[in-house]
Amino acid sequence: MLNIANSIVNNKRQIGAFMITFAQVFQISNFIRSCVNYSAISCFLGLGILSTGLVMGQDETMPRTQYGHPDFQGTYTFRTITPLNRPRELASKEVLTAEEAAEWEAFENRRQNRDLIIDSVGGAGYPPGVISYNEFWYERGSETIADRRTSLIYSPENGRVPERNAVGKQRSSEYREMIFQSAGPEGRTTVDRCLTGFVGGPPMIPGSYNNNMQFVQTKDQIMILNEMVHSARIIRLDSEHQTNQLKWEGDSIGYWDGDDLVVHTQHFYHDYNLRGMSDQAVIEERFRYIDENTLEYDFTVTDALTWDEPWSAKVPLRRSADPVYEYACHEGNHGLAGILAGWRRYESMGMNGNGTPISDNSGSVAIEE
């Protein structure tokens, strides 16, 4: 009977209209080796059922690596105009009609266009004053996702990140106060310092620009290169978490659940991360093949030190012909020096570092959340 399995391995024997992969053959071989205590007829019947179930469950159109796993390699973009949180004015509407989606796209593209914002007035989340880059620098996406959901978040049902609990609010308050003081480089956000990016994650969340990433696969590891802050995340397959080297983006391990790639990330270095996550946050990411140009990216964030319930979102990753470009930002860059110099200048003028009157000690500082 082992000869039968070896024949399947050597010849990649086709059963019906489907082809057995190496990974599936190993499952069949292991089953046969366990048959030594059973009759030949029982083993033949079991082998037939196992083989048929395996091949019938395989997507023949899905590209695969030499190791039998789905081949996700390539560059993708996750930019979209669909927001992470459902707008409050759409609180009762989970999905838009095609007409509503077109109207929403037109409205949002105009509202967010930096070239249409008057500096002295502000807009699109920017207060009156000096507005950042003009529209040329943005690539936030101009269309809603294909299913026209009003938010990327699908759990909780209101489509919004849950309100922070008392512990999360206290940590956020302390973090804002640290930024308000801006005593030195360590007193600024990790985004200001070019240590982490506000779209690269994990989890990866669409933002204003650099919404691009690249998959590279080997037998034992997967690398996700995010264009934002040129972050290269190494995901060890079928491994255990390690804490001997804490990283800004946490420690990521993964495994294949059928044809889905599941990645678990925890052990973050910093105590205040993307969206206010603590260093105890746990993130589960699931990558699923949809078609030759699309992967579904589904993630869940669990962090009892920030939220009393987990939250989940889905984002399409669309294959891109463009390469991942260098993001030339590094700790100690001119931007950080300028921020701190400006802060000190305001303080020398008897004002708060953010330019507000010294009597206004509210600590109102904008941070990327």
What SS3 string covers the chain? CHHHHHHHHHHCCEECCEECCHHHHHHHHHHHHHHHHCCHHHHHHHHHHHHHHHHHCCCCCCCECCCCCECCCEEEECCCCCCCCCCHHHCCCCECCHHHHHHHHHHHHHHCCHHHCCCCCCECCECCCCCCCCHHHCCCCCCCCCCCECCCEEECCCCCCCCCCHHHHHHHHHHHHHHHHCCCHHHCCCCCCCCCCCCCCCCCCCCCCCCEEEEEECCCEEEEEECHHHEEEEEEECCCCCCCCCECCCEEEEEEECCEEEEEEECECCCCCHHHCCCCCEEEEEEEEEECCEEEEEEEEECCCCCCCCEEEEEEEEECCCCCCCCCCCCCCHHHHHHHHHHHHHHHCCECCCCCECCCCCCCCCCCC
Architecture of domain 63-90+152-369: Beta Barrel (2.40)
Four-residue CA torsion sign, 273, 296, 136, 333 = positive
pTM: 0.80
Average pLDDT over residues 26-30: 47
With a cut of 90, say whether residue 195 has pLDDT above it: no
Structure tokens at 79: 């930019």
C-alpha span between 124 and 157 (Å, rounded): 26
pLDDT at 58: 59
The total of other beta-carbon atoms located within 10 Å of residue 257's CB is 10
Cis peptide before 156 (omega within 30 of 0): yes
Structure tokens at 129: 């004053």
CA 277 to chain CA mean position, Å: 14
Pick from 1-10, 152-161, 324-333: least confident: 1-10
pLDDT tens, position by position, 61-100? 899 999 999 999 999 999 999 999 999 999 989 999 999 9
The total of other beta-carbon atoms located within 10 Å of residue 130's CB is 9
pLDDT tens, position by position, 217-263? 999 999 999 999 888 999 999 999 998 888 999 999 999 999 999 99
Would you say 239 and 222 are in contact if contact means Cβ atoms under 8 Å apart?
no
pLDDT tens, position by position, 11-20? 332 333 333 4
Pick from 32-46, 94-108, 198-212, 269-283: least confident: 32-46
Share of the chain above pLDDT 70, in %: 81
Nearest CA among 282, 304, 326, 321 for reference residue 164:
304
pLDDT grade for 130, boundaries at 50, 70 and 90: low
pLDDT at 7: 40
pLDDT at 360: 62
pLDDT grade for 25, boundaries at 50, 70 and 90: very low
For the ranges 4-13, 128-137, 315-324, 351-360, the maximum mean pLDDT occurs at 315-324
Q: Give every CB contact of residue 164 below 8 A, 6+ residues apart in sequence.
A: 172, 276, 306, 307
More confident residue, 58 or 260: 260
- What is the separation, in whole angstroms, between the first and last Cα of the chain? 59
Would you say 119 and 131 are in contact if contact means Cβ atoms under 8 Å apart?
yes
pLDDT grade for 327, boundaries at 50, 70 and 90: confident
With a cut of 70, say whether residue 22 has pLDDT above it: no
C-alpha span between 263 and 260 (Å, rounded): 10
Average pLDDT over residues 21-39: 48
pLDDT at 148: 97
Q: Look-up: residue for tokens 């491994």?
A: 239
With a cut of 70, say whether residue 328 has pLDDT above it: yes
Average pLDDT over residues 268-287: 90
Residue intervals of the chain classified under CATH 2.40.128.20 are 63-90+152-369
Mean pLDDT for all residues in the chain = 83
